[in-house]
Structure 1
Amino acid sequence: MWRWDRWGTVDYDGPAVGQAQVIRRLSGSMARGAALVGGVTSLICIVVATVAEGLPGLYGAGLGGLLATGSALLTPALMLRTTHLEPGAVMLASFGGLAAKAILLLLALFTLGGAPALHRTSLAVTLLAVFVTTTAAEAWAGSKLKILIGAEPDSSNV
């Protein structure tokens, strides 16, 4: 049985056993935490940007929050796709997701930053704030997971 904690991560009653179960729990908890924290951070940035800059601030911060929160789900998705592979491949996918997320957000900033309807600073600050907070939420989710190290119960190593 599992339950939600106040950070949006899932706290399971028992430890995760085996790599596949660990990765599934970890990626699910990371995705939930990143979505929750990204949404809250985006809303705060949208309110501040709208008050400070009006509609261009609203559009810039709204687009920045949407892009950054959406890209935060890239790492857990890549981890899920590599569940059946070796642990090194899962770690590479996790790092690749972080690097790809940073590159995508920089590309979005440089391509969309010049749009006349968007306030460039609101876009940039929201992208950065959501990137940092969702990455911290993913790390928090990883630290909350209970892992049982050893052979899987159904393995033939017994």
Structure 2
Amino acid sequence: MWRWDRWGTVEYDGPALGQAQVVRRLSGSMARGAALVGAATTVVCAVGGIVAAGVPGLSAAALGGLLATGSALLTPVLMLRTTHLEPGAVMLAAFGGLAMKAIILLLALFTLGGAPGLHRMSLAVTMLVVFITTTAAEAWAGQKLQILIGTDPGSTDA
């Protein structure tokens, strides 16, 4: 069984057994943590956007938070898609997700930065802050996961 902790990640009663179970638990916990932290950070940045530039700041912060939080979910999805592959492929997918996330956010910033009705600085700051906080939430989720290395304690293998 599992239960939520206050950071939005999941604590399981027992350790994960096998690579597929580890990756599934890790990606699920990463996705939940990133979504929760991304939403909370977006709200804080939206308030800052209102203070800085009014409605254009609010709309830019909301859009930036939505894009950054959505792109944060790319890494867990890629990890789930590579569950059946070798551990190196899963690590490569996780790193590729981080790199793709940064590229997507930079392209979005350059594309939307000059749009009328959006405050460019609110957009940029929100995207950067949400990127950092969701990446930290994903790392936190990975650090909390219990992994059993070796044979299953209930197995008859010595």
TM-score normalised by the chain length of structure 1 = 0.96
Deviation string 1:13-55 (CA, Å, 9 cap, x unpaired) is 0000000000000000000000000000000000111122111
What is the one-letter code of the residue matched to 2:80? Answer: L
- The ranges of structure 1 where at least 4 consecutive aligned residues each deviate by more than 3 angstroms after the TM superposition are 151-155
The answer to whether the Cα contact below 8 Å between 1:30 and 1:138 also exists between their aligned partners in 2 is: yes
Equivalent residue number for residue 66 of structure 2: 66
Count matched residues. Answer: 158
Equivalent residue number for residue 54 of structure 2: 54
What is the one-letter code of the residue matched to 2:82? Answer: T
Q: How much identity, in percent, do the aligned residues show? A: 79
Change (3 A) 1:35 1:26: same
Question: Partner of 1:148: helix, strand, or coil?
Answer: coil
Equivalent residue number for residue 27 of structure 1: 27
* RMSD, matched Cα: 1.7
Equivalent residue number for residue 43 of structure 2: 43
TM-score normalised by the chain length of structure 2 = 0.96
Equivalent residue number for residue 149 of structure 1: 149
How far apart, CA to CA, are the structure 1 residues paired with 2:153 and 2:80? 21
Equivalent residue number for residue 130 of structure 2: 130
For structure 2, the residue ranges without an aligned partner over 5 or more in a row are: none
What is the one-letter code of the residue matched to 1:109? Answer: L
For structure 1, the residue ranges without an aligned partner over 5 or more in a row are: none
Question: Partner of 2:150: helix, strand, or coil?
Answer: coil
Structure 1 residue 129, shift from structure 2 partner: 0.2
How far apart, CA to CA, are the structure 2 residues paired with 1:154 and 1:73? 35
The answer to whether the Cα contact below 8 Å between 1:64 and 1:124 also exists between their aligned partners in 2 is: yes
Equivalent residue number for residue 75 of structure 1: 75
Structure 1 residue 152, shift from structure 2 partner: 5.8
Equivalent residue number for residue 112 of structure 1: 112
